[in-house]
């Protein structure tokens, strides 16, 4: 599959992440894996996905290090697909995406909600800064800037954004 990432975006973590998990079926397969599905037939039945598409997506998830392919039966050989540590680290992203979707639905229209496993109480996922506990959804309080490995083009992008931000705050 050819890369959809633009040459100038290769250093952008958002662009490279979307390249790994931005495909429709990939997110749904990962969601099922978080729900405990590990076997090809479980994914296929749950998602009603074609064999060829599921095979391709699972191969990509294994190649990207998000799932591990392990034999669970020897005669005939059958494999299961288990989340790796890297794959498990995507759970907060999947939770945040589902929460965003539910935010835009009436409570009675939500088909799936996140609950506390012990109490059954509905959870309200938010993304926060681990250091301060502040919510990260305020784009004026938290902004992106060039990191230590940024190219000159990336640095120029964020220098320009900083300049515009400063002009806007003085007006």
DSSP assignment letter at 121: P
The tens digit of pLDDT for each residue in 118-158 reads: 999 999 898 999 999 999 888 888 888 888 888 888 888 88
Please state, in angstroms and rounded to a whole number, the distance separating the CA atoms of residues 23 and 170: 41
Taking alpha carbons only, the member of 121, 137, 120, 119 closest to residue 129 is 137
165 against 8, higher pLDDT? 165
Instruction: Identify the H or E element spanning 150.
Output: none
The answer to whether 37 touches 46, Cβ cutoff 8 Å, is yes
The tens digit of pLDDT for each residue in 43-98 reads: 999 999 999 999 999 999 999 999 999 999 999 999 999 999 999 999 999 999 89
pLDDT of residue 16: 72
pLDDT of residue 88: 96
DSSP 57-120: HHHHHHHTTSEEEEEEEETTEEEEEEE-HHHHTTHHHHHHHHHHHHHTS-GGG-S---B-TTT-
User: Taking the alpha carbons of 71, 44, 99, 114 in that order, is the dihedral positive or negative?
Assistant: negative
pLDDT of residue 1: 46
The tens digit of pLDDT for each residue in 1-11 reads: 455 555 556 67
Residue 137: CB partners within 8 Å, gap ≥ 6?
Answer: 126, 127
Q: Which two tokens stand for residue 12?
A: 């952008």
pLDDT of residue 7: 53
The pair phi, psi for residue 70, each rounded to 5°, is: -130, 140
pLDDT of residue 133: 92
DSSP, collapsed to helix, strand or coil, labels residue 135 as strand
Tell me the pTM.
Answer: 0.78
């Amino acid at each position: 599959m050819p890369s959809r990432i633009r040459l100038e975006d290769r250093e952008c973590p958002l662009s490279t992440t979307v390249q790994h998990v931005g495909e429709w079926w990939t997110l749904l397969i990962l969601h099922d894996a978080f729900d405990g599905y590990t076997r090809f037939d479980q994914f296929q039945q749950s998602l009603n996905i074609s064999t060829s598409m599921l095979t391709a997506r699972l191969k990509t998830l294994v190649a990207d290090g998000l799932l591990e392919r392990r034999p669970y039966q020897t005669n005939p050989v059958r494999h299961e697909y288990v989340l790796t540590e890297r794959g498990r680290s995507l759970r907060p992203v999947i939770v945040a995406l589902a929460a965003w979707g539910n935010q835009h639905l009436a409570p009675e229209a939500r088909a799936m909600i996140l609950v506390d496993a012990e109490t059954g109480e509905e959870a309200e996922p938010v993304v926060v800064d681990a250091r301060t506990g502040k919510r990260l959804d305020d784009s004026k309080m938290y902004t992106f800037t060039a990191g230590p490995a940024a190219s000159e083009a990336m640095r120029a992008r964020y220098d320009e954004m900083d300049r515009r931000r400063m002009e806007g705050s003085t007006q």
